[in-house]
């Protein structure tokens, strides 16, 4: 029971003191004692005193200090150099300068370079408070950094699991095509080769089987088209939407003529986008407007106006409209509101539209009254910013990963 620490601790400690591992950078024994005494007012201190860089470095690792108290001027070293050592070692340990005389300018300079505080040797009484503040700030800093790291990790995990899922959907639907092709072809061959040679039921059953297989082929192709929106992208470029509409008009010629549809558009903007996908977007929307027509010939109009940081487009028709309760789920993959015999299709078109728009940073929704027509509205970012950014990179990455599917893995012998 003769160690100084214990004796001092017993002397002035009615209440339990916080423990503190301090590293002093000090050449003057007397000054070191004074500093230690100031610390012991408030802390149960275990301290090491060093005078040069080599000893300092060693002590950082053996002593693992919570705080560094450094004199400004040493015979063989400068206290501020300790900061550089801490930085190099990647250690977040606050450093407080404890100095005899430090001009204001020097003091400010030291703080700028990373010292947490400075305390003059004739006001050592404020040292404990300064240390407490430094430790508190460090704790906060750690917590914040940890929270940021957690968040970054979660975002990363989410992005990865999303990408995995997409890859899975793509590979699954891609690889399903091959065996399904066999099922389709051979049920058809059965049907053709043995028509009328088995009994009546057999022909019917074979017919159902091959119809089912054909339908499944279309579904899988749709699914692939849907997942390709997230993978391919032809890259972003300036796209004149007026030209896109004219292109769509060409593509839809036959269904427009057949239904007597008219398609008009206002003065549409030129914007940054993926031309192929924008064309598909308008084709799906206009195609739907024609397909889901009422008794009258379809009248379809495409308009656009600036709204804040976006262009807001509206594709409106005079078709059968959509009841309020369905306005959300029409954008979900394979959601259909009508019997296949009434309106053909697989319910993929609007899901693709939504995906295209969301990839380009916009939103899509519908306003409609049953029997009166629908207006599909969507936003796309203004085109004059000139920064295609994220999606373009996405596209490249995905495109380069796709062709790997062409190679056969573990081909059957």
Residues that bind other proteins (CB under 8 A): 177-178, 180-182, 184-186, 188-189, 192, 214, 217, 402-403, 406-408, 411-413
**Could you tell me where the beta strands, DSSP code E, fall in 317-392?**
364-369, 373-381
Cα angle 210, 212, 213 (rounded to 5 degrees) comes to: 65
Least Cβ distance, residue 398 to other proteins (angstroms): 13
Of 308 and 403, nearer to other proteins (C-beta) is 403
Residue 229 or 380 with smaller CB distance to other proteins: 229
Within 10 Å of residue 169's Cβ, how many Cβ atoms? 15
Closer to other proteins by Cβ: residue 73 or 401: 401
Q: Which residues pair with 365 in a beta bridge?
A: 377
| Cβ atoms < 10 Å from Cβ of 138 | 16
Using an 8 Å Cβ cutoff, are 210 and 254 in contact?
A: no
Minimum distance from CB of 248 to other proteins (Å)? Answer: 22
Q: Which is nearer to other proteins, 387 or 407 (CB)?
A: 407
Identify the residue whose tokens are 């598909």.
280
DSSP string covering 4-40: HHHHHHHHT-SSPPEEEEEEEE-S-HHHHHHHHHHHH
What's the min distance (Å) between Cβ of 403 and other proteins?
5
**Number of alpha carbons in the 13 Å side-chain half-sphere of residue 86:** 24
Of residues 108 and 185, the one with the C-beta less far from other proteins: 185
Between 211 and 367, CB nearer to other proteins: 211
Residue 98 burial by CB count (10 A; 0-12/13-18/19+): exposed, middle or buried? buried
Q: Which is nearer to other proteins, 362 or 395 (CB)?
A: 395
DSSP, collapsed to helix, strand or coil, labels residue 255 as helix
> Helix H segments across 319-406?
349-359, 390-401
Q: CB of 88 within 8 A of CB of 61? A: no
Residue 296 CB, nearest approach to other proteins (Å): 37
Q: In the complex with other proteins, which residue's Cβ is closer, 129 or 396? A: 396
Q: C-beta of 282: minimal distance to other proteins in Å?
A: 23
**Residue 234 Cβ, how far from other proteins at the closest point, in Å?**
11
Provide, rounded to whole angstroms, the least separation between the CB of residue 56 and other proteins.
Answer: 60
The residues pairing with 307 across neighbouring beta strands, listed in sequence order, are 310
Q: Least separation, in Å, of the C-beta of 206 and other proteins?
A: 12
């Amino acid at each position: 029971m003769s160690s100084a620490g214990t004796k001092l601790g017993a002397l002035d400690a009615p209440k339990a003191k916080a423990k503190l591992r301090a590293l002093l950078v000090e050449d003057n024994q007397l000054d070191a004692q004074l500093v230690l005494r100031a610390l012991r007012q408030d802390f149960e201190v275990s301290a090491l005193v060093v005078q040069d860089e080599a000893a300092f470095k060693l002590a950082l690792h053996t002593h693992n200090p919570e705080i560094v108290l450094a004199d400004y001027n040493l015979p063989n070293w400068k206290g501020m150099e300790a900061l550089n050592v801490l930085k190099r070692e990647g250690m977040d340990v606050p450093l407080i300068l404890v100095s005899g005389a430090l001009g204001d300018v020097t003091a400010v300079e030291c703080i700028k370079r990373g010292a947490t505080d400075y305390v003059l040797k004739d006001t050592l009484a404020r040292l404990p408070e300064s240390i407490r503040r430094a430790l508190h700030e460090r704790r906060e800093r750690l917590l914040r950094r940890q929270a940021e790291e957690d968040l970054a990790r979660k975002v990363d995990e989410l992005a990865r699991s999303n990408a995995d899922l997409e890859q899975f959907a793509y590979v699954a639907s891609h690889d399903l095509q091959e065996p399904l092709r066999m099922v389709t072809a051979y049920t058809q061959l059965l049907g053709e080769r043995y028509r009328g040679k088995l009994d009546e039921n057999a022909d019917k059953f074979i017919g159902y089987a091959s119809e089912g297989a054909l339908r499944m082929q279309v579904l899988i192709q749709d699914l692939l088209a849907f997942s390709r929106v997230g993978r391919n992208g032809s890259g972003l470029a300036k796209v004149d939407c007026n030209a896109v509409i004219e292109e769509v008009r060409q593509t839809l010629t036959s269904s427009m003529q057949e239904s007597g549809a008219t398609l008009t558009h206002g003065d549409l903007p030129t914007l940054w986008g993926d031309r192929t996908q924008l064309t598909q977007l308008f084709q799906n929307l206009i195609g739907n407007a024609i397909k889901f027509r009422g008794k009258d010939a379809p009248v379809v109009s495409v308009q656009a106006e600036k709204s804040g940081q976006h262009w807001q487009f509206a594709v409106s028709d005079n078709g059968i409209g959509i009841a309020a309760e369905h306005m959300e789920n029409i954008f979900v993959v394979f959601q259909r509101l009508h019997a296949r015999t009434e309106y053909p299709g697989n319910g993929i078109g609007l899901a693709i539209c939504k995906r295209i728009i969301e990839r380009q940073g916009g939103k899509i929704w519908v306003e409609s009254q049953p029997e009166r027509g629908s207006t599909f509205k969507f936003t796309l970012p203004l085109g004059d910013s000139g920064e295609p950014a994220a999606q373009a990179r996405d596209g490249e990455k995905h495109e380069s990963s796709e062709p790997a599917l062409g190679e056969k893995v573990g081909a059957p012998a």
